[in-house]
Amino acid sequence: MIRRTRIPNLGGAKAVVLHRPHAGVEALTRQLGAIGLEVEEAWPELPASAAGADFLFFDVDLGFEEQFPWAPGEAPMPLVALIGSEAPGRIEWALSRQADAQLLKPVGSAGVYAALLIARRAFDERRRLAAEIASLRERVAERQTVVRAVVALSSRTTNEEQAYAQLRALAMSWQVTLEEAARRVVDLKTGEGSHERPRRA
């Protein structure tokens, strides 16, 4: 059974339009206002209040890197690219900003609501995937730490299975997770190995 995604209520959301004063921007702000959004216009710099916005519309034609206080793909809100020129360089720049949706200029009476919904969905999915990737990387790093701890506990008289059992026993006695116990063992062994022998006078 396919689960349908609920359409979010956009009433009361805040949108920032980063675009030079233009008749097309007036049409966009009217559409956003009709949908129920609070709109703030800015050019050429983003105001500090933009960090709390729910959507950011930005001009692709005259936009530049320094306008954004975050790295590409790390915007704290969904981005909608306003595209007028289809020059390859401008399109490539828009793609580098990783916009979640786009609107072609001049903005008409249709398309704004759809762009908001698409941008919201794409942004949420991108953040979900980023969190999932970060979690997987953390799990891989933790497994590597466990392996390093088992190796550190192993000796000629202790095999890997016994070393793993010893690590589990340490985790229980310290009342921490296996991964945390592994980090402590690795840190301890690393600290021991970092001490230099005193030099002879």
Is 14-127 a domain of CATH 3.40.50.2300?
yes
Of 47, 88, 96, give the one whose Cα is nearest residue 56: 47
| Range(s) within the chain of domains with CATH label 1.10.10 | 135-193
CATH topology of domain 135-193: Arc Repressor Mutant, subunit A (1.10.10)
pLDDT above 90 covers a percentage of the chain that reads: 47
Of 74, 17, 12, 7, give the one whose Cα is nearest residue 40: 17
pLDDT digits (tens, 9 = 90+) for 46-87: 999 898 999 999 999 999 999 999 998 889 999 999 999 889
* Token representation of residue 108: 């008409």
Question: What is the C-alpha to C-alpha distance for residues 128 and 5, in angstroms, rounded to an integer?
Answer: 15
Of 15, 58, 57, 73, give the one whose Cα is nearest residue 40: 15
**Which of residues 174 and 23 earns the better pLDDT score?**
174
Residue 200 pLDDT: 42
Residue 194 pLDDT: 47
User: Where does the pLDDT of residue 162 fall: very low under 50, low under 70, confident under 90, or very high at 90 and above?
Assistant: confident
Question: What is the C-alpha to C-alpha distance for residues 144 and 122, in angstroms, rounded to an integer?
Answer: 33
| CA angle in degrees (0–180, nearest 5) for 39-14-17 | 45
Residue 64 pLDDT: 93
Across-strand partners of 92?
none
**Which of residues 172 and 192 earns the better pLDDT score?**
172
